[in-house]
Amino acid sequence: MSKEPSKPQTLSPKDFQQDTLAIRGGYTRSHEHEHSEALFLTSSYVFDSAEMAAKYFSNELQGNVYSRYTNPTVRTFEERLAAMEEGEQCVATASGMAATLSVVMALLQAGDHILCSQDVFGSTRVMLNNYIVKFGVQVSYVGLTDLAAWQAAIRPNTKMLFCETPSNPMSEVADLEALAAIAKQAKALFVVDNCFCTPVLQKPLRFGADIVVHSATKYLDGQGRCLGGAVVGSAELMDKVVGFLRAAGPTMSPFNAWVFIKGLETLRIRMQAHCANAMALAEWLESHDKVTKVYYAGLEGHRGHGLAKKQQSGFGGVLSFCVKGGREQAWKVIDSVEMLSRTANLGDTKTTIVHPATTTHGRLSAEDREAAGIGENLIRIAVGLEDFIDIKNDLARGLDLI
Ligand SMILES: Cc1ncc(COP(=O)(O)O)c(C=O)c1O
Tens of pLDDT, residues 15-71? 889 899 999 999 989 888 999 999 999 999 999 999 999 999 999 999 999 999 999
Q: From 265, 300, 333, give the residue that closes a domain.
A: 265
pLDDT over 90 percentage in the chain: 89
3-class DSSP state for residue 215? strand
Most ligand 1 atoms within 8 A of CB, residue of 102, 195, 231 to mutate: 195
Degrees (nearest 5) of the Cα angle 349, 351, 356? 130
Residues with CB under 6 A from ligand 1: 95-97, 121, 123, 164, 168, 193, 195, 215, 217, 227, 229
Q: Which amino acid is at 209?
A: A
Instruction: Tell me which residue has its CA closest to atom 7 in ligand 1.
Output: 96
* pLDDT score at 38: 95
Residues 37 and 117 in one domain: yes
* pLDDT score at 184: 98
How far apart are the CA of 215 and the centre of ligand 1, in A? Answer: 5
Degrees (nearest 5) of the Cα angle 142, 129, 242? 95
Q: Which tens digit of pLDDT belongs to each residue from 73-86?
A: 999 999 999 999 99
Determine, yes or no, domain membership for 180.
Answer: yes
Instruction: Tell me which residue has its CA closest to atom 9 in ligand 1.
Output: 96
b/e per residue 106-138 (b: at least 16 CB within 10 A): bbbeeebbbbbbbbbbbebbebbeeebeeeebb
* pLDDT score at 56: 94
Given a cut of 70, is residue 247 above it in pLDDT? yes
* pLDDT score at 183: 98
Residues 257 and 367 in one domain: no
Q: Which amino acid is at 365?
A: S
Residues 87 and 161 in one domain: yes
Determine, yes or no, domain membership for 3.
Answer: no
User: Measured from the CA of 196, which atom of ligand 1 is nearest?
Assistant: 1
- Cα 271 from Cα 260, distance rounded (Å): 15
- Cα 161 from Cα 193, distance rounded (Å): 11
* pLDDT score at 369: 84
Residues 138 and 246 in one domain: yes
Q: Which of 118-127, 171-180, 195-204, 272-281 has the lowest mean pLDDT?
A: 118-127
Instruction: Tell me which residue has its CA closest to atom 2 in ligand 1.
Output: 121
How far apart are the CA of 121 and the centre of ligand 1, in A? Answer: 7
Residues 235 and 108 in one domain: yes
Residues 261 and 280 in one domain: no
Q: Which amino acid is at 271?
A: M
Determine, yes or no, domain membership for 8.
Answer: no
User: Measured from the CA of 120, which atom of ligand 1 is nearest?
Assistant: 1
| CATH code, domain carrying 205 | 3.40.640.10
Residues 247 and 296 in one domain: no
The pTM assigned to this predicted structure is 0.95
Residues 260 and 273 in one domain: no
Average pLDDT, the chain: 95
| Nearest CA among 164, 230, 210 for reference residue 26 | 230
Which range marks the domain in which residue 246 is found? Answer: 13-265
Q: Which tens digit of pLDDT belongs to each residue from 356-386?
A: 999 988 888 888 888 888 999 999 999 999 9
- Cα 12 from Cα 83, distance rounded (Å): 10
Given a cut of 80, is residue 14 above it in pLDDT? no
